[in-house]
Copies of this chain bind each other. A is one copy, B any other.
Amino acid sequence: MEQIPYKIYLRENEIPTAWYNVRADMPTKPAPLLNPGTGKPMTAEELSGVFCSELVKQELNDTDRFIPIPDAIRDFYRMYRPSPLVRAYCLEEKLQTPAKIYYKFEGNNTSGSHKLNSAIAQAYYAKEQGLKGVTTETGAGQWGTALSMACSYFGLDCRVYMVKVSYEQKPFRREVMRTYGATVTPSPSDTTEIGRQIRAAFPDTNGSLGCAISEAVEDAVSHPGYRYVLGSVLNQVLLHQSVIGLETKAALDRYGVVPDIIIGCAGGGSNLGGLIAPFMGEKLRGERNYRIVAVEPASCPSFTRGRFAYDFCDTGKVCPLAKMYTLGSGFMPAPNHAGGLRYHGMSAVLSELYNEGMMEAVTAKQTDVFKAAEQFARVEGILPAPESAHAIKVAIDEAMRCKETGEEKTIVFGLTGTGYFDLVAYEKFHNGEMTDYIPTDEELNKSLATLPVV
């Protein structure tokens, strides 16, 4: 057989023509979103006030396994896709492991992460619907950057509410968004009613993601021609991210490689859900078996220490209720926690799959994650985002286990993005100032006590 190259690139005409909707393969569908007022499932009509119509259809579609990708989106994908599937020869050599390690690298675009895969889809449907623009929130800024790029491409107005402390401390991300013509507003702001209320009540607040979501939603629903968009958690986002998994599978198939273990970091679940989609489909249909592992931060352990229950998607409690593994919408990860993966809940799709035992979850401690990140950067030449490094950590652990047992397992993990905007955290790590934080049972019980009664 042809030797497997360092980087497997598919051809541009091999970019998937349809997204993979794993819900079609699920015998038990993810539980529907509930209207927090009535406690009843959200209808398409109710959702259409906030989301684009076509995206509402995708959100509610539990039956079609393949959903065609419009040509305009595939054209945009051609700017940075297919992304490489990399054989980690250098890492294998360094670890002296018999394991074969592959990673799907989604960081080779200016937004620096996989987020762009869904941002361009959401922008496209907004444009098709004749909207003027979209609103969103961003914390660290990966999602806001991706959405700014996507809106710029389609000539849509893009309004990003950025958590105030990030706006001030991460000016670089802000400037990338401005380069793409987005309006970036520190949240809480005085441009929304909820923002003004919060500023009046807490004049010194640094802002929070929950507050930024509330402002973005208010902005969208109070301006004709605007809708709100979200970068993770939702079914539609996992659907769009399935291009990651489809390309990964096509690249492996070309060389007849079948993975034993598939690993992804998990915050809201968008990357992991996308990476595993077609593999999980095979597993659900009983065609193949794979070990599928979600890695979450020890400081924000939704899967491993949360509860599978209906909860609010946002801290401000303005959004619908979702049934998911959650730490409670009042849960705040420790301030020392670097990077993303700080969401209190988890995608409903992944939550259902985890609950059925179709996948595993493990946690990783922050300093261990940065150790793995540095080890990886030194041999593979890519500076990983801290989020992505959670997957690296566990991939290395699995590879070292193979070294002990002598098994030649094939490990595939998702390298979601680059760490160019996370160097403050790297600096803390280099200076020995980084600490680990694991919430106590008492803390978790307190935030879980805020779960709504449905």
Contact = CB atoms under 8 A, between A and B. Distances in A.
Interface in A190-206: none
Interface stretch (A4-12, A216-224, A343-351): A4-12
Contacts of A178: 426-427, 430
Contact of A430 (B7, B175, B374, B379): B175
A115 B104 CA distance: 25
A213 interface: no
A247 B432 CA distance: 43
Contacts of A80: 381
Interface string A145-180: 000010011000000000000000001100110111
The 6 closest A-B pairs by CB, nearest first: A172-B423, A175-B423, A420-B420, A6-B78, A110-B383, A5-B12
A380 B79 CA distance: 7
A142 to B, nearest CB: 13
A403 to B, nearest CB: 21
A326 interface: no
A1 B41 CA distance: 54
Interface of A: 5-7, 9, 11-12, 78-80, 90, 108-110, 112, 149, 152-153, 171-172, 175-176, 178-181, 374, 377-383, 418, 420-421, 423-424, 426-427, 430
A184 to B, nearest CB: 10
Contacts of A421: 420
Contact of A179 (B149, B175, B430): B430
Contacts of A382: 109-110
Nearest to A381: B79
A335 to B, nearest CB: 20
Contact of A110 (B175, B176, B181, B377): B377
A179 B11 contact: no
Contacts of A78: 5-7
A178 B429 CA distance: 10
Nearest to A111: B381
Nearest to A418: B110
A233 B80 CA distance: 32
A181 B377 CA distance: 10
How many copies of the chain does the oligomer comprise? 2
A119 to B, nearest CB: 11
A80 B6 CA distance: 9
Contacts of A7: 12, 78
Given A79-B381, A418-B110, A426 B12 contact: no
A367 to B, nearest CB: 15
B383 A426 contact: no
A407 B410 CA distance: 53
Given A7-B78, A171-B427, 14 more contacts: A6-B12, A7-B12, A9-B9, A80-B381, A108-B108, A149-B381, A153-B381, A171-B423, A172-B423, A175-B426, A179-B378, A179-B383, A179-B430, A420-B421
A151 to B, nearest CB: 10
B378 A180 contact: yes
A381 B176 CA distance: 11
Contacts of A171: 423-424, 427
B79 A383 contact: no
Nearest to A379: B153
Contacts of A108: 108
A380 B152 CA distance: 10
Nearest to A86: B79
23 contacts: A5-B12, A6-B12, A6-B79, A7-B12, A7-B78, A79-B380, A109-B382, A110-B381, A110-B383, A110-B418, A153-B381, A171-B424, A171-B427, A172-B424, A175-B426, A175-B427, A175-B430, A176-B423, A178-B426, A178-B427, A179-B383, A180-B378, A181-B378
Contact of A180 (B6, B172, B180, B377): B377
Contacts of A181: 378
Contacts of A112: 420
A424 to B, nearest CB: 8
A148 to B, nearest CB: 10
Contacts of A426: 175-176, 178-179
A171 B178 CA distance: 22
